[in-house]
Amino acid sequence: MSHTTPAAVDVELVVARAQAAATDPAREFGSFFLTRFLDLDIDYDDDEQTCTVTLPYAVHLCNPQGSVHGGVITTAIDISMGHLCHRFLSTAVTIEMQMRFLRPLTGTGTCTGRVIRAGRRIVHLESRMTDDDGRLVAMGTGSWHRLDVPS
């Protein structure tokens, strides 16, 4: 296994992105701190009822080996499922999530969330992230509690 030395972090870029993300007061779906800081692009396919989140590669999101940190990948996958719920069902919160990491992400990642089963209170979802070459990088499944149904 060969290791590559990651490029240096552009501190000025990271500080500027964090400041811009933090000073924008927007907190609605598609535009809250994490989506702005990670520079996520969020898109929906109404016919397929999917949500696609694109995570651009950035050195400051990487682990020491130069690949995107698993926690960042998990965040993008979680956001794809949460935005999917919000768009097509209702606002919901993650109650559990399982991740599988299949290969390092060393470029842009694209994850697409899909509903597996939409129950009255609990929604089961999945999201799969691929790399620039269409190879499966990671996949997550999760259960979400719908907030439009009284407990």
C-alpha separations of 66 from 26, 33, 93, 105 in Å: 32, 24, 31, 9
pLDDT value, residue 114: 97
- In this predicted structure, the answer to whether residue 23 has a pLDDT above a threshold of 90 is no
pTM equals 0.86
How would residue 53 be classed by pLDDT, with cut points 50, 70 and 90?
Answer: very high
Of 27-31, 45-49, 133-137, least confident by mean pLDDT is 27-31
pLDDT (0 to 100) of residue 1: 37
- Residue 110: CB atoms within 10 Å: 19
Query: With 70 as the cut, is the pLDDT of residue 99 above it?
Result: yes
The 10 Å Cβ neighbour count of residue 148 is 10
